[in-house]
């Protein structure tokens, strides 16, 4: 692979995804538009003034060139997505199709050890979870994380006759069982939870808590003759014995974790410095939304502390973090601060401008990144320019039948076509080639397959389904 450079792309993430290598990313976080039927824009005068994106969906948003992949690899998902039209309407069906096309590619670029966090709200989270169960496999679902983004719902939220909505949902999946996770957070020195738990200070000023309840085993735990011994003049009070072996006890004593106090009693100490951290559950109530100096004004900006937690939990230093809907690039900033590499994509030009400003505010932090608007080319697949041998292979595979009109032709009457047109990010490699007869090839031109299918009006049942899909 080429040398990695932190990169911000301004383009449709589907095209960029298509140009990223297989299994090249360690952690994906995405915070896509939620199909909220709103138009978001940044307040005038804020750092992001002028930035906006729409969150209203129609079939126009679906990239038809990429539908083919969904039809052939996930036929069950196609049935499911079609049923959404009857349940929730066309806009939701278009939105879920749009997301599914991208999630298929995200799954492809994620390493087998990788993790995936999808930030959603209740509008579409239940539909997306089904999509993820199918693409990642239901056994790779790890958590539904609830993030409380505010406390005390605003006045306007009480207008609706329902409870105030103050949480977002983050769906956490992994690509396999072989993933890295550190589910603890280190409490800060002045954290109230830490102050309450580590409530004692030793004569060197270090915080600890008294863990003397764990010097001896409880009699209910049964007799343990091998843990019954005399140590520095102390004896186990009953046959259940000490908690530690004699050797471990002495080691702990030497480290200062077991102390013989002035009153002659033993004390066992747990020091804050040795504490791995608090184990997290899926209910995240301690991270407020982006506030104060952190605010760029970018609509829907997420707090850096949230990304910080996800990145620390599911990656290690040097790992590649990827946010395909990066907005003002909170995930990229957090990744950089934590010594990870990153790739961010946003379709809006304004998002890149905000990011570049955001980074120059953090002088020096971001000297080494590039901003691209072109589509990268995969270098993990061999570029194979259309040739006669490719034509022969395809002819055999297609059994001499045109992918458009379904009629049989001689090899000389076929043309090699790019399934995903080059203009839409499709490349020169075998999987992106098919044979079309001269007529079908001219009809299709630089357009997606769906267009050709519509034109030739094939009667075949499956293809008929494709024709009506979303229309
Ligand atoms: C909810 S915002 C992300 C906010 C981000 N997490 C942050 O902290 O600033 C969603 C973003 O996705 C972008 N977006 C929408 N469709 C896109 C696409 N097809 N490709 C890339 N970005 C897209 C929008 O421009 C918007 O900035
Ligand atoms: Zn044909």
| DSSP sequence for 275-317 | ---EEP-SEE-S-PPS-GGG----TTPPPHHHHHHHHHHH--T
pLDDT for residue 46: 45
Same domain, 367 and 300: yes
206 touches 183 (CB < 8 A): no
Side-chain-side CA neighbours of 251 within 13 Å: the count stands at: 5
Q: How many residues are there in the chain?
A: 471
Look up tokens 């039948």; give the residue.
Answer: 401
Q: Flag whether 380 is in a domain.
A: no
- Check pLDDT > 60 for residue 55: no
How many angstroms is it from 440 CA to the middle of ligand 2?
Answer: 4
For residues 410 and 391, give the distance between their C-alpha atoms in angstroms, rounded to a whole number.
Answer: 11
How many angstroms is it from 347 CA to the middle of ligand 1?
Answer: 7
User: Measured from the CB, is residue 311 less than 6 Å from ligand 1?
Assistant: no
Q: What is the dihedral of CA 173, 174, 180, 185, to 10 degrees?
A: -10
Q: Flag whether 224 is in a domain.
A: yes
Q: How confident is the model at residue 45 (pLDDT cuts 50, 70, 90)?
A: very low
Same domain, 174 and 50: yes
Q: Flag whether 1 is in a domain.
A: no
Q: Flag whether 401 is in a domain.
A: yes
User: Measured from the CB, is residue 33 less than 6 Å from ligand 1?
Assistant: yes
Choosing from 220, 255, 274, the residue where a domain stops is 274
How many angstroms is it from 70 CA to the middle of ligand 2?
Answer: 22
- pTM for the predicted model, two decimal places: 0.77
pLDDT for residue 348: 86
For residues 334 and 338, give the distance between their C-alpha atoms in angstroms, rounded to a whole number.
Answer: 6
Same domain, 99 and 169: yes
For residues 306 and 250, give the distance between their C-alpha atoms in angstroms, rounded to a whole number.
Answer: 42
Same domain, 163 and 126: yes
Q: Flag whether 381 is in a domain.
A: no
Same domain, 293 and 409: no
User: Measured from the CB, is residue 12 less than 6 Å from ligand 1?
Assistant: yes
Over residues 139-171, the pLDDT tens digits come to 999 999 999 998 866 666 556 788 888 999 999
DSSP 92: H
Same domain, 351 and 454: no
Choosing from 233, 257, 274, the residue where a domain stops is 274
Same domain, 179 and 39: yes
Nearest residue by C-alpha to atom 12 in ligand 1: 325
29 touches 338 (CB < 8 A): no
Same domain, 288 and 366: yes
Parallel/antiparallel/unpaired status of strands 167-174 and 184-185: unpaired
pLDDT for residue 362: 57
- Check pLDDT > 90 for residue 334: yes
User: Measured from the CB, is residue 29 less than 6 Å from ligand 1?
Assistant: no
Q: Which atom of ligand 1 is nearest to the CA of 351?
A: 27
Q: Flag whether 382 is in a domain.
A: no
- Check pLDDT > 80 for residue 331: yes
Percent of the chain surpassing pLDDT 90: 54
CATH of the domain at 400: 3.40.1800
Same domain, 264 and 319: no
Same domain, 21 and 115: yes
pLDDT for residue 401: 95
How many angstroms is it from 402 CA to the middle of ligand 2?
Answer: 5
Q: What is the mean pLDDT of residues 351-375?
A: 73
Ligand nearest to the CA of 323: 1
Q: Which atom of ligand 1 is nearest to the CA of 323?
A: 6
Query: What region, left, alpha or beta, does residue 155 occupy, with left being phi > 0 and alpha being psi -120 to 50 degrees?
Result: alpha
How many angstroms is it from 281 CA to the middle of ligand 1?
Answer: 28
pLDDT for residue 303: 95
User: Measured from the CB, is residue 330 less than 6 Å from ligand 1?
Assistant: yes
Q: Which domain holds residue 256?
A: 192-274
How many angstroms is it from 65 CA to the middle of ligand 2?
Answer: 18
pLDDT for residue 357: 75
How many angstroms is it from 436 CA to the middle of ligand 2?
Answer: 5
User: Measured from the CB, is residue 301 less than 6 Å from ligand 1?
Assistant: yes
Choosing from 372, 399, 417, the residue where a domain stops is 372
Over residues 116-137, the pLDDT tens digits come to 999 998 889 999 999 999 999 9
Same domain, 153 and 166: yes
Q: Which is more confidently placed, 232 or 90?
A: 232
Q: Flag whether 231 is in a domain.
A: yes
Nearest residue by C-alpha to atom 16 in ligand 1: 347
Ligand nearest to the CA of 299: 1
How many angstroms is it from 260 CA to the middle of ligand 1?
Answer: 60
Q: Which is more confidently placed, 105 or 70?
A: 105
CATH of the domain at 352: 3.40.50.150
Same domain, 152 and 270: no
Q: Flag whether 320 is in a domain.
A: yes
Counting the structural domains of the chain, the total is 3
Nearest residue by C-alpha to atom 18 in ligand 1: 12
DSSP 408: B
Nearest residue by C-alpha to atom 3 in ligand 1: 327
Long-range contacts at 317-321 (CB < 8 A, ≥ 24 apart)? 319/26, 319/27, 320/4, 320/24, 320/25, 320/26, 320/27, 321/25, 321/26, 321/27, 321/28, 321/29
């Amino acid at each position: 692979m080429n040398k990695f450079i932190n990169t911000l792309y301004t383009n449709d993430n589907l095209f960029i995804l298509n140009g990223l290598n297989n299994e090249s990313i360690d952690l994906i976080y995405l915070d896509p538009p939620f199909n909220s039927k709103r138009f978001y824009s940044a307040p005038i005068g804020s750092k992001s003034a002028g930035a906006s994106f729409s969150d209203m969906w129609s079939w126009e948003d679906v990239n038809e060139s990429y539908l083919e992949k969904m039809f052939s690899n996930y036929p069950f998902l196609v049935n499911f997505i079609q049923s959404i039209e009857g349940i929730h309407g066309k806009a939701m069906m278009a939105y879920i199709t749009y997301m599914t096309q991208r999630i298929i590619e995200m799954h492809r670029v994620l390493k087998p050890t990788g993790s995936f966090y999808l930030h959603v709200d209740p509008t579409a989270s239940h539909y997306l979870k089904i999509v993820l169960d199918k693409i990642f496999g239901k056994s790779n679902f790890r958590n539904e994380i609830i993030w409380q983004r505010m406390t005390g719902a605003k006045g306007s939220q009480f207008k609706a006759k329902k409870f105030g909505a103050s949480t977002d949902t983050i769906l956490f999946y992994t690509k396999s069982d072989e993933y890295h996770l550190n589910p603890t957070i280190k409490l800060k020195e002045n954290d109230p939870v830490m102050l309450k738990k580590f409530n004692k200070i030793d004569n060197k000023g270090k915080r600890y808590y008294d863990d003397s309840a764990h010097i001896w085993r409880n009699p209910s735990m049964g007799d343990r003759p091998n843990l019954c011994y005399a140590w520095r003049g102390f004896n186990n009070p009953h046959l259940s014995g000490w908690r530690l072996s004699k050797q471990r006890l002495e080691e702990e004593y030497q480290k200062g974790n077991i102390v013989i106090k002035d009153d002659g009693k033993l004390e066992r100490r747990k020091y804050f410095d040795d504490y791995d951290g608090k184990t997290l559950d899926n209910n995240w109530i301690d991270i407020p939304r982006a506030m104060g100096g952190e605010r760029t004004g970018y609509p829907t900006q997420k707090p850096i502390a949230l990304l910080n937690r996800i990145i620390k939990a599911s990656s290690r230093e040097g790992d590649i973090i990827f946010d395909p809907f990066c907005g003002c690039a909170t995930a990229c900033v957090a990744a950089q601060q934590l010594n990870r590499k990153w790739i961010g994509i946003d379709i809006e030009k304004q998002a890149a401008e905000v990011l570049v400003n955001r980074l120059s505010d953090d002088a020096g932090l971001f000297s080494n990144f590039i901003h691209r608007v072109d589509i990268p080319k995969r270098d993990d697949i061999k570029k194979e320019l259309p040739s006669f041998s490719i034509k022969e292979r395809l002819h055999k595979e297609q059994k001499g039948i045109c992918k458009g009109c379904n009629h049989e032709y001689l090899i000389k009457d076929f043309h090699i076509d790019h399934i995903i047109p080059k203009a839409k990010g499709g490349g020169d490699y075998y999987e992106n080639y098919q044979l079309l007869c001269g007529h079908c090839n001219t009809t299709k031109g630089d357009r997606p397959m769906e267009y050709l299918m519509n034109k030739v009006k094939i009667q075949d049942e499956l293809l008929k389904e494709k024709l009506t899909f979303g229309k």
